[in-house]
Chain A
Amino acid sequence: MIEWGLYNYWVVIFLMMTGLYVVISRGNLIKKIIGLNIFQVSVIMFYISMGKVKGGTAPILEEGVRVYSNPLPHVLMLTAIVVGVATSAVALALVVRIKEAYGTIEEDEIRVIEGEEEST
């Protein structure tokens, strides 16, 4: 029986598995970084969807409002988003350097070049 109250968790798991599949099965480095971003957004969605309270509103103190959504996941995920973009920036800088050093950003081609360099 489909329980619609759990739909948000199912979409989160689907996104997580999509991101994971991209990271482990695609050889292009930039595609892997895109997969990591999808994974990250899914985790953030998980926490934020757990913080929502039915009938609540944004956690900003206001006259006449009695029910607020939980502010704690919002705080934690704010940090997570910014740290995520910082690590993505460093990862992309590494990809640029790898391209300059090996001439390619496909994982198996890099492995071949590394194998040749090691045997010579």
Chain B
Amino acid sequence: MTSHVILRVLLKLLIPLIMLFALYVQFHGDFGPGGGFQAGVIFGAGMILYALIFGLDRAREVFPPRLLEVLVATGVLIYGGVGVAAIFFNGNFLEYSVLSHDPVHGQHLGIMLVELGVGLTVASVMTTIFFQFAGRGRTDD
């Protein structure tokens, strides 16, 4: 892997920017195009890019597959958790208005948490699927 020097140098600069952009899209999904799905896919694409250039083994050290498997379920759990928390605050399931002192603030909080859960699940699933495809048929573990 001493070849692809240009790609490695460039990507060492680009991948942090890609991840930063994914975070921007995640949290500015309220004000412009974006949201959980787009951010999760961009973040997953950043991780896949790292695996493509620096090798699957190094990518597996940086993003451990066990952690990704836990994160996949954690996103859905966060989403359901917000819904159940709304029940504890005397509202209906997924009624965000009761989550805070003011209905509009409650909606903002609920939407932010929910999109966070979605982004987490989507990013982890995309990366997990790619690691599975790329790791198939390799002779070493």
Contact = CB atoms under 8 A, between A and B. Distances in A.
Partners in one complex: yes
Nearest to B125: A86
A78 B133 CA distance: 25
Interface residues of B, number: 10
A15 B32 CA distance: 31
A67 interface: no
A93 B137 CA distance: 13
A89 B129 contact: yes
Given A60-B32, A82-B122, A93 B132 contact: yes
Contact of B37 (A58, A82, A93): A82
Contacts of A86: 125
Nearest to A79: B37
Interface in B100-136: 122, 125, 129, 132-133, 136
Interface in A68-94: 78, 82, 86, 89, 92-93
Give the top 10 A-B pairs by smallest Cβ distance, nearest first. A89-B129, A82-B37, A96-B136, A78-B37, A60-B32, A82-B122, A93-B132, A96-B133, A93-B133, A58-B33
9 contacts: A58-B33, A60-B31, A60-B32, A60-B33, A86-B125, A92-B133, A93-B132, A93-B133, A96-B136
